[in-house]
A and B are shown apart, each in its own frame.
Chain A
Amino acid sequence: MSSPEPRSAGRRSSSSRKRGSQRTEPQRKGSQGASAQSIGMLGRASAWLGHHQLVAVETLLKLLAQPLASLLTWLVIAIALTLPGALWMAVNNLQQLSDTVQQSGRISVYLQTSVSDADARALQQQVNQLNHVERTELIGADDALQQFAANSGFDDALALLGENPLPAVLLVEPPLGTSSSDLSVLRLALENMAGVEEAVLDLAWLERLKSLLALGQRVILVLGGLLALAILLVVGNTIRLAIAARVDEIRVVKLVGGTNAWVRRPFLYTGLWYGMVGGLMSWLLLLLCWLILQGPVGELASLYGSGFELQPLSGGASLLLLLAAMLLGWLGAWWSVSRHLDDIEP
């Protein structure tokens, strides 16, 4: 079918016109119209799939080909996702920490300094008889001082004090699964015993931590909702600009029979990719946060004698982050497209 001879000069000559009429031959075969119908259902389905693939690849390549133009949108998405993501990571870690703490929930009974060692041991016997007491451990005033001196390195200063300022402590461990009301009854009973200065339920701070964590989860929800809205707006605006830049193309496409779905498709994929790249960047930022914090947190925990380690985002959470980012990008594009695209008519 290709033209064998160069014809740029003779294009307008009558000879070209003559050859032109021969060349209409292919046109003759199917000129009775109805060409679109000759594509069967299967052909249509595969064309539809093919177009999806084509558009998906094309739009992704287009974005990646101009990283600077897309960078702002990507960064906004990444930051908007990283904020609630980091908060979620923190809450999640504290949650795990509080779960391990719960297993060692206990009551510290501080004895009056006037109580002698023998009286303290008698008290311990007494406490052992109480309900909801599984184990007790008596740390005498001298033991407490030695432990403190060894851990703090203040032994010289302590020697200057002359007198031991620390009280003896009776650690009371209730069995696992004791209800918090039973625990506070037990604490009150212990505090009212003779020779007891104060009984402290170590769970009190845990309760506080838990309500703080619940609050944290609320904050994540609200913050996440607001930032999701921000992502929708940013992607929507980016897509609006992309639509404005392609008004001519959209008109032509609609004129030659492009459906709304066909016109919409590249913009929806563009939104999807914006979300995906933004999500990936956010994941990297969260990974970076983890890398930076993981060492110091581990050291801090070991200072408290805890084997706690800062956990990075799990695989499932990472996937969720990415999917949420893509969904938001797609939704932002969809919102923009449904507002602007139908107005563009040939």
Chain B
Amino acid sequence: MSMVRFDQVSKRYGAAGKDALNGVNFELQRGELAFLTGHSGAGKSTLLKLMMMMERPTRGQIHIDDQLINTLKPSQVPYHRRKVGVVFQNHQLLFDRSVYDNVALPLQIAGYSPVDCARRVRAALDSVGLLQYEQRNPIELSGGEQQRVGIARAVVNKPALLLADEPTGNLDPELSAEIMDLFVRFQQVGVTVLIATHDIALIERMGKRRLILDHGRMLGDTHVVA
């Protein structure tokens, strides 16, 4: 029972263009942490977007949590997204509200009571070490701190799957390592994590599984897929 399974997945943007993804197969087990690497334009973001149903595959099948997602109706997509946490390089925080309200957003959408909500937001902010900033506006925070707010928002709903697209893109090496440590800690508590990055130096030190994309093809995997 894998958390993520891609079967011969291809994605072509528009009618004419070349394939952004071409016949991609891979599997992620529950509780696994893997890095997705490859040159710029290799298709990393596309692969993550397919998992969030931000794009739909042209061919192939995508199973997440044993559910075939590429046939979901548009009305079911929001409920799928609630089960997956995402972190982006441009952290996509809202600067018209506090850190607390940013992190609470997924819970409000899912319909948690204010009491439950407060408990979980504090727990999430605590887990990224930002509890003391809950009433600040995220614009006052540094890049690394903002990224951690983004991570808190991604995990506040306790998703079984956490995706990150270049989460350390703008950060210096020390902060990058710190962010990666955070992801490892979430893996340690049972979350399946997939991180797209081109920061090879950093991930080589971490000794985790690597999926390598090249021009839309899955070139290599440091892990033998079952």
Contacts and interface: CB of A to CB of B under 8 A. Distances in A.
Do A and B bind? yes
Contacts of A258: 78, 109
A6 B132 CA distance: 8
Interface stretch (B4-12, B15-23, B156-164): B156-164
A252 B96 CA distance: 13
B153 A34 contact: no
A1 to B, nearest CB: 5
B110 A255 contact: no
Interface in B69-124: 75, 78-83, 86, 92-94, 96, 105-106, 108-113, 119-120, 122-124
For A16, A249, A254, A258, the residue with the greatest tally of chain B CB atoms inside 10 Å of its CB is A258
A259 B109 CA distance: 8
A47 B129 contact: no
Contacts of B139: none
A47 B110 CA distance: 9
Q: Determine the main DSSP class of A at the interface with B.
A: helix
Contact of A7 (B78, B113, B132, B155): B132
> What range describes how many residues of A lie at the interface?
35 or more
> What range describes how many residues of B lie at the interface?
35 or more
Contact of B178 (A12, A27, A34, A48): A12
Interface string B118-147: 011011101111011000000000001100
Contacts of A17: 129, 178, 181
For B81, B105, B119, B126, the residue with the greatest tally of chain A CB atoms inside 10 Å of its CB is B126
Interface string B167-198: 00000001100100110011011110000000
13 contacts: A11-B129, A19-B129, A23-B126, A24-B185, A26-B123, A31-B158, A31-B191, A32-B190, A33-B83, A248-B94, A249-B94, A255-B52, A256-B153
Interface of B: 52, 54, 65, 75, 78-83, 86, 92-94, 96, 105-106, 108-113, 119-120, 122-124, 126-129, 131-132, 144-145, 153, 155, 157-161, 174-175, 178, 181-182, 185-186, 188-191
Interface of A: 1-3, 6-8, 11-12, 16-17, 19-21, 23-24, 26-28, 30-36, 39, 43-44, 47-48, 51, 248-249, 251-260, 262, 345-346
